[in-house]
Amino acid sequence: MVSPLKPPIESESRRYGLLIACHAWALGLLQIVAGSQKLMGAPRMVAEFHAFDLPHWMLIYIGTAETIAGLALLWNPTRLPALFASCMLLTWGVVATWTAKMAPLAWLPTVLLILTGFVTWQQSLTDSINYRRQQN
């Protein structure tokens, strides 16, 4: 079994990479769905943005950013920058939902931010190990 606190050894590397890819795909699909809802103007999303007194263009901007980041999570060469972008987007979502005292909705971006941060850390660790292997 792979420990999240130490880098994988050679024999576990392929399985470990598959695990990271599965998590990234799940996060990517969730972001594509959330971004698409914003872009399509889902009533719940529009109501959330109006509750924060944000203009409609901000809904479109964030929806586009989430959709692009979600699509980038599906492709390995763009996964690490997309994970960092996802962390930034989710940080805004966490701060917005907790400051608006939307407790029933605040748990979802918080959990997603923790998972995305963990996958980002694991992806950067794996990328650095693979880079070192290529250099040797």
- The whole-number average pLDDT for the span 66-77 is 93
- Looking at residue 52, the DSSP 8-state letter turns out to be T
* Segment 14-23, tens digit of pLDDT: 777 788 889 9
DSSP string, 100-128: TT-HHHHHHHHHHHHHHHHHHHHHHHHHH
Q: What backbone torsions phi and psi does residue 3 show, to the nearest 5 degrees?
A: -85, 135
Q: What are the tokens at 102? A: 């939307």
pLDDT above 80: residue 9: no
Closest among 131, 126, 119, 93 to 22, alpha carbons compared: 119
Domain spans of the chain, in order of start: 12-135
Q: What are the tokens at 110? A: 């918080």
- The whole-number average pLDDT for the span 105-134 is 86
Q: What is the pLDDT, as a whole number, of residue 99?
A: 80
Check: pTM over 0.95? Answer yes or no.
no
Q: What is the pLDDT, as a whole number, of residue 3?
A: 58
Q: What is the pLDDT, as a whole number, of residue 4?
A: 58
* Segment 80-113, tens digit of pLDDT: 999 999 999 999 888 888 887 777 777 888 898 9
**CA-CA distance, 20 to 122, in Å (whole number)?**
7
